[in-house]
Chain A
């Protein structure tokens, strides 16, 4: 194949990511479970890279979890999202950066729907005006927060103090990546690498020195399933999906799991604990679990941020084995301190999982 043809072919798997002036909208899940990740994202973008990132205090949930659990109608979800577009427009920004894959998928679904059904967009504009007297322009660029970190992965590596390699042996750390279903399965051309060659996390891992592990259930859902986790009677669905992935990745002995969506790291972290309590099974070495990270946490570690500023103490599976392998110094005694240095006690030890 000629080089030009090949380049054209791969263009289908690339996406345009704005390089500055971002309107940032937060994630309901990430704020509750991985708040340090959102703090780290803003620090990396604003302080390390000098980017203009604006957060409007009056933005809200996109309703995505309620929409995909089917209690929020599509028209309502679209109108709430239209309100986000309106306050972005009023603020003078054009590049929308959501911190959540469910949000990113919903925004994408809405924009694609409006392309195919302009009468739906007109109806939503009427709803929004009737409810809020607001109007909006659609974003010129929509990129998930991980797309932005991906875009600047080389700059992060250049500023980095640590790499994804074993500091004693030089061995690249083996990383399982999990991109989250709604990033590119619904609209493949909106994600870096599409649904077939998702590269948003792989690009970071390779740039920062790690080795990506391929395994049979790499693209299987983490098991959120919205109503399948939210309702207690259904949680076996959620757990069984994560279990399928752990069993599939275990023979490859990954050093860590890197995630894209805010929900996936919570499930992949907590279900390891629950499986250990129920079955006595652990998936890391020596009774430990496989540490699970958000991409902001991993970028922060590469940049040398304090692990406890990143919020690694909020994980159920201990992250210290990865810090030790990367040669990152940390103060174990400071793990459970508050902002002022006072002790907050510490979590009880699980029965099986070593933490």
Chain B
């Protein structure tokens, strides 16, 4: 067997996700991503099933594995117990660990996810920390979100929240000792390594692309990966 396939087999999600694909295409028929993007979970599953190292490497460096929305509708419908969505999870993890994710436009976006959701987890203990995240970045949130942002503390007090307060409650301040535990968990279980890999390879790619790169979300490379859409991804 090949090195990449062996690495995938070390991920229990790959082991669970790939049984024996009969290429029926039911997963593609049910897949929301396949109705929007040039995405075919049937062919992704078939490629990894062939154990063709070159083809697997092309997947890891390509756009297609980043199209899935991980809704896992494919899990319900596969007549042979495969889960292409879990295969995607394993492919994306390996792509980031090997630094291949920066070879694709969609893969490069991982820096933006890491620096928003990933950083909010480490800094605040929540996946979302939205005070100050306005309709400039999220115009779809509408005028009601502008109103909420303008009156953040008063609105959350009205809702019975304990915003940034001690003790339990909605959007309470997560104690520093708890955040230390979460950061330690990230250190011992590979979370920090994943974050470092995303930063390191993104910086290398930024240099290669001639885009300014620093640790902020205002830098040229962040803005580029967050907003760039070549518009050749759709069906």
Q: Spell out A's residues near B (CB within 8 Å).
A: 26, 28-29, 31-32, 35-36, 38-39, 55-58, 60-61, 63-66, 68-76, 78-80, 83, 105, 113, 116-117, 120, 124, 127-128, 130-132, 181-182, 185-186, 188, 195, 219-221, 223-228, 230-237, 239-241, 244, 270-271, 273-274, 308-309, 311, 313-316, 336-339, 342, 344-350
25 A-B contact pairs sorted by A residue (CB < 8 Å): A36-B159, A56-B168, A65-B117, A66-B113, A70-B92, A70-B113, A71-B195, A71-B198, A72-B191, A74-B13, A76-B186, A76-B194, A80-B185, A128-B185, A131-B189, A221-B73, A230-B113, A230-B116, A233-B227, A240-B35, A315-B144, A338-B155, A342-B154, A345-B150, A347-B146
Least CB separation from B159: chain A residue? A35
Hey, which chain A residues are within 8 Å of B71, CB to CB? 181-182, 185, 221, 224-225
Interface residues as binary, B215-235 with A (CB distance below 8 Å gives 1, 0 otherwise): 000000000011111000010
The answer to whether A237 and B69 touch across the interface, beta carbons within 8 angstroms, is yes
Query: In whole angstroms, how far apart are the Cα atoms of A68 and B127 in the complex?
Result: 11
Q: Given A55-B168, A132-B181, A239-B140, is A75 in contact with B70 using a C-beta cutoff of 8 Å?
A: no
The answer to whether B148 and A314 touch across the interface, beta carbons within 8 angstroms, is yes
Q: Which 5 A-B pairs have the closest CB atoms?
A: A225-B69, A76-B191, A39-B160, A347-B147, A131-B184
Least CB separation from B234: chain A residue? A236
Q: Given A28-B127, A28-B128, A237-B33, is A185 in contact with B72 using a C-beta cutoff of 8 Å?
A: yes
Q: Given A61-B127, A344-B154, is A73 in contact with B194 using a C-beta cutoff of 8 Å?
A: yes
The answer to whether B36 and A130 touch across the interface, beta carbons within 8 angstroms, is no
The answer to whether A237 and B76 touch across the interface, beta carbons within 8 angstroms, is no
B66: Cβ under 8 A from any A Cβ: yes
CB distance from B164 to the nearest CB of A (A): 12
Residues of chain B from 119 to 169 with CB closer than 8 A to chain A in the complex: 121, 125-128, 130, 137, 139-148, 150-151, 154-161, 166-169
Interface residues as binary, B170-200 with A (CB distance below 8 Å gives 1, 0 otherwise): 1110110110011011111111001100100
Query: In whole angstroms, how far apart are the Cα atoms of A337 and B155 in the complex?
Result: 9
B82: Cβ under 8 A from any A Cβ: no
Within 8 Å by CB of A233, from B89, B168, B226, B234, lies: B226
Query: In whole angstroms, how far apart are the Cα atoms of A350 and B109 in the complex?
Result: 31
Q: Given A221-B73, A345-B150, is A73 in contact with B189 using a C-beta cutoff of 8 Å?
A: yes
B28: Cβ under 8 A from any A Cβ: no
Hey, which chain A residues are within 8 Å of B102, CB to CB? none
Query: In whole angstroms, how far apart are the Cα atoms of A76 and B195 in the complex?
Result: 12
Least CB separation from A263: chain B residue? B128
B81: Cβ under 8 A from any A Cβ: no
Least CB separation from B131: chain A residue? A32
The answer to whether A66 and B117 touch across the interface, beta carbons within 8 angstroms, is yes
The answer to whether B142 and A57 touch across the interface, beta carbons within 8 angstroms, is no
The answer to whether B187 and A35 touch across the interface, beta carbons within 8 angstroms, is no
Query: In whole angstroms, how far apart are the Cα atoms of A350 and B116 in the complex?
Result: 28
CB distance from A74 to the nearest CB of B (A): 6
Within 8 Å by CB of A60, from B118, B151, B182, lies: B182
Hey, which chain B residues are within 8 Å of A71, CB to CB? 96, 110, 113-114, 117-118, 194-195, 198
Q: Given A29-B128, A227-B66, A273-B142, is A39 in contact with B159 using a C-beta cutoff of 8 Å?
A: yes
The answer to whether A188 and B171 touch across the interface, beta carbons within 8 angstroms, is no
Least CB separation from A54: chain B residue? B168
Within 8 Å by CB of A127, from B185, B227, B228, lies: B185
B46: Cβ under 8 A from any A Cβ: no
CB distance from A271 to the nearest CB of B (A): 7
B104: Cβ under 8 A from any A Cβ: no
Hey, which chain B residues are within 8 Å of A69, CB to CB? 113, 117
B112: Cβ under 8 A from any A Cβ: yes
CB distance from A46 to the nearest CB of B (A): 13
The answer to whether B32 and A131 touch across the interface, beta carbons within 8 angstroms, is no
Query: In whole angstroms, how far apart are the Cα atoms of A188 and B12 in the complex?
Result: 20
Within 8 Å by CB of B144, from A72, A226, A316, lies: A316
Residues of chain B from 42 to 83 with CB closer than 8 A to chain A in the complex: 66, 68-73, 75-76
Q: Given A36-B160, A39-B170, A225-B70, is A314 in contact with B155 using a C-beta cutoff of 8 Å?
A: yes
CB distance from B64 to the nearest CB of A (A): 14
Q: Given A57-B167, A231-B113, A274-B139, is A75 in contact with B69 using a C-beta cutoff of 8 Å?
A: no
Given contacts A55-B169, A57-B168, A270-B140, 6 further A-B contacts (CB under 8 A): A61-B125, A72-B121, A76-B194, A186-B75, A233-B226, A241-B36
